[in-house]
Amino acid sequence: MAIFPSPEWADEYVKKLNSNESYKDSGKTWEDTLTFVIEPDEKYNKTWYLYLDLAHGECRDYKYSDKEDGVPKATFIYKGKYSNWVKLINKEIDPIQGIMTGKFKLEGQMMKIMRYTKAAKDMVNTASMVDTQFEA
């Protein structure tokens, strides 16, 4: 059981992502860096960054920090409040609908990410596979 967000959670997430066959397939032509940003709200009072270096269906490197400059600058940033991340991990929010309803923000080249909606969905599905404990 890993607390979200935490270094243990990140380790577990990347392990699961790298053994996810579906992601290996859907992400095989995708090469980019992406940072998940967990923003504070009434249930969580810090900001947390998880940087992922993705290449061909694999995460070849990752870094986490509670400071923005603690991780490298990524080509894509996907950020939202802690409670919305909880909903995302629990599959109550779809990652793209999350953006369209303003619960998440995506920074980066939009059209490119729209080509990889399946990979994005697999990444979120992977987060749901981590045995997660939420802080509050």
Partner 1 sequence: MWFFRSPDVIFGADSLSYLNNIDAKRIVIVSDKNIQHAGLIEKVIKNLPDNVEVHTIDDIPVEPDFDDITQHMDGIRSFGPDYFIGVGGGSCMDSAKILFALYERPDISVYDITPIVKLGLRKKSHLIEIPTTSGTGSECSWAAVVSGKNEKRKNELASPEILADYAILDPEMVLSLPLNQTISTAVDAMTHAIESYVSSWSNPYSEALAEKGLFMVSHSIMDVLKKPGSLELRNNVHIGASMAGLSFSNSQIGLAHALGHSLGAVFKMAHGTAVGIFLPHVVSYNSLEVDGKYSILNNLFPEDIKGKNLHDTLIKMFKVINQPLKISDLNITRKSFDDNLNTLIELAEDSTGITMNPVEAGREEIKELFVKSFGD
CB of 85 to partner 1, least distance (A): 16
- Choose the binding region for partner 1 from 2-10, 38-46, 60-68, 114-122 (rule: CB under 8 A): 114-122
- State which of positions 10-29 bind partner 1 (CB under 8 A): 21-22, 25-26
How far apart are the C-alpha atoms of 52 and 43, rounded to whole Å? 25
Structure tokens at 15: 């392990």
| DSSP one-letter string for 68-102 | GGGSPPPSEEEEEEHHHHHHHHTTSS-HHHHHHTT
For residue 96, state whether it binds partner 1 (rule: CB under 8 A). Answer: yes
For residue 79, state whether it binds partner 1 (rule: CB under 8 A). Answer: no
Cβ atoms of residues 38 and 119 within 8 Å: no
For residue 97, state whether it binds partner 1 (rule: CB under 8 A). Answer: yes
Which residues contact partner 1 by CB under 8 A? Answer: 21-22, 25-26, 94, 96-97, 99-101, 103, 106, 109-115, 117-118, 121
